[in-house]
Amino acid sequence: MATPGTDVRGHTAVTDLDLYERMLLIRRAEERLIVACTDGSLPGGVHLYIGEEAVAVGACAVMTDDDFVTSTHRGHGHFLAKGGDLDAMFAEIWGRATGICKGMGGSMHVADVSKGILGANGIVGAGFAIATGAAWGAKLAGQGRVATCFFGDGAANQGSFMESMNVSAAWDLPTVFVCEDNGVSEFTVTSTVSGGPLVERARAFMPATVVDGNDVHAVRDAVGEAVERARAGGGPSYVEATTYRIRGHLEAEQHMLGGGTYRTDDDIAAWQADDKDPIARLATRLLAEGTCPREDLDAIDAAVRNRVEAAVAFAEASPPADPELAHTIMFGPA
């Protein structure tokens, strides 16, 4: 929706309104998934990104379709922020033939290789190595591409994190590690299973910084610096974005908790407040700066909601996945 250009810092310029719209698209799309999940429209579960939109949107604002990203089990935000098509994503989540992966992957596996989206991934930590391999390819090709690995604070305990930082550092690869530190890994408070601050692990290998992950500008600027360094041959960087997951680990997690809890409602409410929520924060700022009036923001929201409903309609009107594909794709050309 946004028209890319180049800003003073040399990266593709995305306006604040673009950032706003992109975050909102992710938010509204996922809010709609909550409904779909509840009403039984979806074959499988969904892990929602609500509350963390500023990370994907801020980071992807400094990338082009030629750059690679690897995503997580919580991948809708990265997919949309990197330019993935909402219709194709919804159709995928609905298990339809028109899905971006033809219904073979589902929510946890949305990928659009043509846009450098190497896929959401159900294996926690899998993206480290894939991004590092892609970054190596990018470096070999010599066209200034970068590969960004999005991963969670829980994933940062997987050894492949260190292995991939090591390879990226030793070989000066254009890898950007973006940690989405939402403080939890499923139902475990990550600090209870982690030794020391994550950023220190990265510092042993590369420039590493921690930013407010709910401030889309802060994320964009930090990742922007990392991406520029990588494009210029300066090797890998690490950006840790502090954020919060508003929804459960997956929708309907309460069925899996057996009455237990791992965080309080107050915590959640605090992160949902206007001074924390990434979208509300940007709105407040845009209004304060006078960049645009409330009506414009409302109009964007209305347009986004329409876009989302259109995607639902597209998905629901689409034919089911073709079961034969499992054979023909899997055993396609040798």
Partner 1 sequence: MARKRLITAVNDALVAEMERDEKLIVFGEDVELAIMGDTRGLVGRFGRDRVRNSPICEQTLTGMAVGLASAGYRVVLHLMFNNFIYTGMDAIGNQMAKLRLMTGGQMELPITVIAGYGGGNSNAAQHSDTAYPALMNLGGLRVAVPTNSADAKGLFTTAVRGRTPTFFLEAAGRGGEMGEVPDGEHLVPFGQADVLREGDDVTVVAIGTMVKPTLRAAKALADDGISAEVIDPRTLVPLDEDTILGSVAKTGRLVVVDEARDRCSAASQIAAVVADRGFASLRAPVRRVTVPDVALPYARNAEAALIPSPERIADAVRHVTQKQFA
Ligand X SMILES: Cc1ncc(C[n+]2csc(CCOP(=O)(O)OP(=O)(O)O)c2C)c(N)n1
Contacts to a copy of itself by CB under 8 A:
157-163, 165-170, 192-197, 200-201, 203-206
52 binds Mg ion (CB under 5 A): no
Please say which residue, 2 or 136, places its beta carbon nearer to a copy of itself.
Answer: 136
Find the Cα–Cα–Cα–Cα dihedral 59, 64, 68, 69, rounded to 10°: 30
**Spatial separation of the C-alpha atoms in residues 25 and 88, rounded to whole Å:** 14
Report which residue type is found at 39: D
318 binds partner 1 (CB under 8 A): no
Q: C-beta of 184: minimal distance to partner 1 in Å?
A: 11
Q: C-beta of 229: minimal distance to a copy of itself in Å?
A: 15
55 binds ligand X (CB under 6 A): no
Please say which residue, 3 or 192, places its beta carbon nearer to a copy of itself.
Answer: 192
Of 103, 105, 133, 154, the residue at the interface with ligand X (CB under 6 A) is 154
Q: C-beta of 30: minimal distance to a copy of itself in Å?
A: 31
Side-chain half-sphere CA neighbours of 10 within 13 A: 9
Of 154, 174, 224, 235, the residue at the interface with partner 1 (CB under 8 A) is 154
For 136, phi and psi rounded to 5 degrees? Answer: -60, -45
Please say which residue, 95 or 224, places its beta carbon nearer to partner 1.
Answer: 95
How many residues touch partner 1 under the rule CB under 8 A: the total is 81
| Partner touching 174 among ligand X, partner 1, a copy of itself, none, CB below 5 to 8 Å by kind | none
| Partner touching 182 among a copy of itself, Mg ion, partner 1, none, CB below 5 to 8 Å by kind | Mg ion
**Spatial separation of the C-alpha atoms in residues 165 and 238, rounded to whole Å:** 9
Find the Cα–Cα–Cα–Cα dihedral 206, 212, 214, 215, rounded to 10°: -100
154 binds Mg ion (CB under 5 A): yes
Give the residue from 129, 137, 93 showing the smallest Cα distance to 111.
93
Three-state DSSP state, 197 = coil
**Spatial separation of the C-alpha atoms in residues 94 and 320, rounded to whole Å:** 9
